[in-house]
Structure 1
Amino acid sequence: MAQFFKAKPNKTKQLSAKLSLTVTQLDHLGAGIAQHNGKVVFIPGALPGEKVTVQLTEQKKKYAKAKLIGIDEKTPNRAKAKCPHYQQCGGCDLQHLSIDAQRQHKQAALTNLMSKLAVDVEDGILTEPVVSEDWHYRRRARLATLFNKKSKMLELGFRAANSNNIVQIKQCDVLAKSLSNLITPFTALLNQLHAKTTLGHVELTEAENGVFAVLRITKALKESDSQLLIEFAKAQKIHLLTQDNEGQLQSLFVADEPPADVITENHIRLPFYRLAEGQVQCQFSPGNFVQVNADINQKMVAQAIEWLAPKENERILDLFCGVGNFSLPLALQAADVVGVEGVPEMVAQANQNAKENQLNNIHFYHADLSADLSEASWLGQIDKLLLDPARAGAYESLQWLSKMKPAKVVYVSCNPASLARDSQVLIEQGYQLSKLTMLDMFPQTHHIEAMALFETR
């Protein structure tokens, strides 16, 4: 007799009966933590000190995940979410926690991870957090587009939580006001275009030289569409560019002609920001990574330079240097600065920035910093080292510490877990943790950034 396979129900994904639990703490991703039948239960949206009603949505051997059904007893730290798109948009996931409590949580999560995975954060090491405004702090955002075939309308917004779906928005309270105010009129404009079914994302940037909008296009625009876009940019007083499938930029409208602006060889005006109390101008292109919180970035760069304490006769290495965010200000004070970056386009922009700022004591190189660096011409003994890696961290680069031998290392991190892991390498190589700071780059979210200073023992 033939036998047929019959899939068993996936018990790990089945909803449990409703449970009443007490939340004791937050994890480093901002989810509430409770205990049930000897397991840790993670509950997004729940806060320490609260009694909540939940349903388990996923069960593993040592932990479970739960869906928050109701809050039976609230903590005084619970705040009313400001954004109407909260819990739909995948962005600001800690709006339900007061800002002071958010920062306390981030400080605690950072020190706990460091103590658990690397080294105890002793008294005097943890410094005051670097903070900024709670709202309207983002100077840059990428808005996704989706053509709704049912409504025949183009939707503009952000990705939904844990989904590729788009939440259509009219405003965003963490964006700079100049950018948030563009969302509704931009949506209306795009829906007037013949090309609305084929448009890609919209990138908005607030820079020192105005507001920039870059529209991703997949096909050449009709003349009538280009004219509508130009009229919109003129009315809104913004710089407007398009970017095609090959990444080529075309300037449709330039809002003004300030003499301090830099025009590239193909006559494209690009955004820039200033550092070191206006002494340095840092230009960047769409797609280049830049820190989105301008105020925190200014304070972060200043603190990194203070911790490194560069001197005129020193050689300083800046790994993962981007377009020169740290390298350019460092070059004002050190004899020789070397910046290394893995993205060729950003290396080219960094070199252009050095030229425009008339900094002759800085040199930028392209290199895969996760690869074998033994033959790199720039690798050698240095006085001080600055690291600003992506979320994956700088583990591979730190394997060359014995060849670099810096007296000080400043590590800027957007992922405390990789910072803690890499700290072990530094400690094993004879360094000690001298200072640690939480950088609140993204208020209203669970994201934690940090800066650590390591010095030779």
Structure 2
Amino acid sequence: MAQFFQAKPNKSKQLSTKLSLSVTQLDHLGAGIAQHQGKVVFIPGVLPGETATVQFVEQKKSYSKAKLIAIELASAHRVKPHCPHYYECGGCDLQHMDTQAQREHKQTTLVDLMSKSSIASAIETDVVAAPIVGDGWHYRRRARLATLFDQNTRRLQLGFRAANSNKIVSIQQCPVLAESLSALITPFAVNLNQLKARSSLGHVELTQADNGNFAVLRVTKVLPASDIRWLTGFAEKHQINLLLQDDAGQLTQLYPLLQTDDAVTLPYYHLAQESVRCSFTPGNFVQVNGAINQSMVDQAIAWLDPQPGERILDLFCGVGNFSLPLALKAAEVVAVEGVPEMVQQAKQNAIDNKLDNVTFYHADLSADLSTQPWLGKIDKLLLDPARAGAFESLQWLQKMQPKKVVYVSCNPASLARDSSVLLANGYRIAKVGLVDMFPQTHHIEAMVLFELDK
């Protein structure tokens, strides 16, 4: 019997009795589902087909939550987690499941969530696309490490937050982080503790870009000259682009030295077989899985099938992740984003790539869009919203009337809700597929192609 948790005496309240439950399936958040006395029980850390000893931690009228004590009968898909910090760190929650089984679970969950939503009509097998997959490990090109300064020991702790907690888990490695970034964690922890102003340090953001590794160190006050020299030497030794970020978000580059005082070196990545370069400011959103992002962009463009003379609208465009490659294919691309700084960067990216057929606008896409100059008849639409989805933007479908819509989503629940709007407006689902952007976690990225029924 594999042991996972040793219960400690709790004098303040009586813990529930341990009991044995059989797990039938996983929910969309990766927790196991069992039944007990007519109620659903959610149990993190278990797999379908397993029998586990559990203990209730929360009981509601219609469901309960339990913690895993021990596995009595293990699934064939259970594997030993790669990461030594797995049971403490809150970054991953499916490392105990083999990667192929994770993908099958996510694909099934995606189709089920959409079929059970108000879109109702079952998803036919022939519209389910092959999932976009890549390496299950060392795929993250970006991560933010939290810091915590202990006033008693005068030591700075560097790591990730624990699951459902503000506690910082000190880590020495991260097997889902790009290897070159994972290798920087321990040296960073050691060197930051040599600084005089280590109590004034915030998070550390690490990024692997096509033009090198970048590190942004958040500072709450001006660092002494000795700390600046130490950090510069560290960056030179490890050959990283090192920037400081103050309370106002202002970036100052420490290494390598700049020729001017008004600019910093920005990270960038390539798309469209390296014919497009996409620069971004540290802190702004980019997809964390670079290889999967390239495949996702290629599939979105293939599904949209842009033709000469068409007008294509890209909503929630960021710094041009889809817009710039689309501009290589279409006569006119209109792109809209809600973060002003990202719009400015997207405009600069278009200039840098010599693309004059893409226009970027700033707009709050959850607000009234009726007066926006870009709103009007389009041929095709691409959406890549945040987890909240694009419900408000889709209320303007009648005015846009696109023949095709490609919807990229990081939340299948909001995707299913928004799909009902499209179907109510005469669209049908032509393709739906998993994009395995976040292996070893329950998070599901998806892409759906809608076509206007004629």
Asked if these proteins are the same fold (TM beyond 0.5), I'd say yes
State the alpha-carbon separation in 1 of the partners of residues 260 and 65 from structure 2: 51
Identify if the C-alpha distance between structure 1 residues 426 and 265 changes in structure 2 by more than 3 Å, giving closer, same or farther: farther
- 1:332-351 superposed matches below 5 A: 332-351=328-347
Measure, in 1, the Cα distance between the counterparts of 2:87 and 2:123.
Answer: 34
Looking at structure 1, the residues matched to 58 and 39 of structure 2 have their Cα atoms a distance apart, in angstroms, of 12
Q: Secondary structure at the match of 2:148?
A: strand
Where does residue 224 of structure 1 map in the other structure? 226
1:33 to 2:18 alignment: no
**TM-score, with structure 1 as normaliser:** 0.95
Q: Any idea what SS the aligned residue of 1:268 has? A: coil
The worse-fitting range, judged by mean Cα deviation, of 148-157 and 378-387 is 148-157
Partner of 2:59: 59
Letter in 1 for 2:21: L
The Cα shift of 1:14 comes to 6.2
Q: What amino acid is the match of 2:93?
A: D
Aligned length: 439
- Residue by residue, what CA displacement relative to the aligned partner does 1:39-93 show, whole Å, maximum 9, x if unpaired? 0000000110011111111111111000111111111110101101112110110
Query: Counterpart amino acid of 1:419?
Result: L
Contact map agreement 1:318 1:339 (CA 8 A) in 2: yes
**Structure 1 residue 148: Cα displacement:** 1.6
Partner residue of 2:76? 76
For the residues of structure 2 that align with 1:320 and 1:366, how far apart are their CA atoms?
Answer: 10
CA distance in 2, matches of 1:14, 1:343: 50
Q: Which runs of 4+ in 1 moved over 6 A?
A: none
The one-letter code sitting in structure 2 at the alignment partner of 1:312 is: P
Give the structure 1 partner of residue 9 of structure 2. none
Question: What corresponds to 1:5 in structure 2?
Answer: none
Alpha-carbon contact 1:132-1:440 (below 8 Å) kept: yes
1:435 aligned onto 2:431: yes
Residue 384 of structure 1 corresponds to 380
Counting aligned pairs with the same residue, the percent is 66
CA gap 1:264/1:365 in 2 versus in 1, 3 angstroms: farther
Flag structure 1 segments of 5+ consecutive residues without an equivalent: 1-12, 258-262
The aligned counterpart of 1:331 is 327
Indicate the SS of the match to 1:156.
strand
Q: Specify the alignment match of 1:110 in structure 2.
A: 110
CA contact (8 A) 1:14 1:57 kept: no
The question of whether the paired residues in 2 share the 8 Å contact of 1:140 and 1:175 is answered with: yes
Which position in structure 1 is the counterpart of 2:95?
A: 95
Q: Distance in 1 between matches of 2:248 and 2:41?
A: 46
Give, in angstroms, the shift of residue 421 of structure 1: 0.3
Q: Residues 356 and 401 of structure 1: is their aligned pair in 2 closer, same or farther, counting only changes over 3 Å? A: same
Between the aligned partners of 1:339 and 1:62, the Cα distance in structure 2 is 45
- Give the C-alpha shift of residue 254 in structure 1: 1.7
Would you say the 8 A contact 1:157–1:166 is kept in 2?
Answer: yes
Structure 1 residue 302: Cα displacement:
0.1
Distance in structure 2 (CA, Å) of the matches to 1:418 and 1:407:
22
- Contact 1:391–1:418 at 8 Å: present in 2 too? yes
Q: Cα deviation per residue 1:281-312 (whole Å; 9 max; x = unaligned)?
A: 00000111000000000000000000000011
Measure, in 2, the Cα distance between the counterparts of 1:176 and 1:232: 20
Match of 2:84, SS?
A: coil
Call closer, same or farther: CA 1:14–1:285 in 2, change over 3 Å.
farther
Gapped regions of structure 2 (runs ≥ 5): 1-12
Secondary structure of 2:416's counterpart equals helix
CA drift at 1:149: 2.1
| Contact persistence 1:243–1:249 (CA under 8 A) | yes
Q: Write the mapping of 1:68-217 to structure 2, written as runs, cut at 5 A.
A: 68-117=68-117, 118-119=119-120, 120-217=122-219
CA distance in 1, matches of 2:436, 2:14: 37
CA RMSD across the alignment: 1.3
| Whole-angstrom distance in 2 between the partners of 1:218 and 1:404 | 46
1:306 maps onto 2:308 in alignment = no
- Provide the rounded CA distance (Å) in 2 between the counterparts of 1:277 and 1:69: 49
What is the deviation of 1:264? Answer: 9.1
Partner residue of 1:268? 264
Cα distance between partner residues in 2 of 1:392 and 1:307: 24
Deviation digits for residues 420-451 of structure 1 (CA, Å, limit 9, x no counterpart): 00000000000000000101100000000100
Contact kept in structure 2, 1:155 and 1:187, CA below 8 Å: yes
CA distance in 2, matches of 1:14, 1:322: 51
**Cα-to-partner distance string for 1:143-183 (whole Å, 9 max, x where unaligned):** 00001223221010001000011001011010001100000
Q: Please, which of 233, 236, 246 is the counterpart of residue 234 of structure 1?
A: 236
Could you list the per-position Cα deviations for residues 316-363 of structure 1 after superposition, in whole angstroms to 9, with x for gaps in the alignment? Answer: 000000000000000001011011000000000000000100100000
Q: Matched residues in 1 for 2:309 and 2:261: separation?
A: 35
For 1:3, the equivalent position in structure 2 comes to: none
Task: Quote the residue 1:279 is aligned against.
Answer: 275
- On the 8 A contact 1:14/1:58 being kept in 2, the answer is no
Letter in 2 for 1:252: L
What residue identity is the alignment partner of 2:43? I
Q: Secondary structure of 1:124's partner?
A: helix
For 1:292, the equivalent position in structure 2 comes to 288
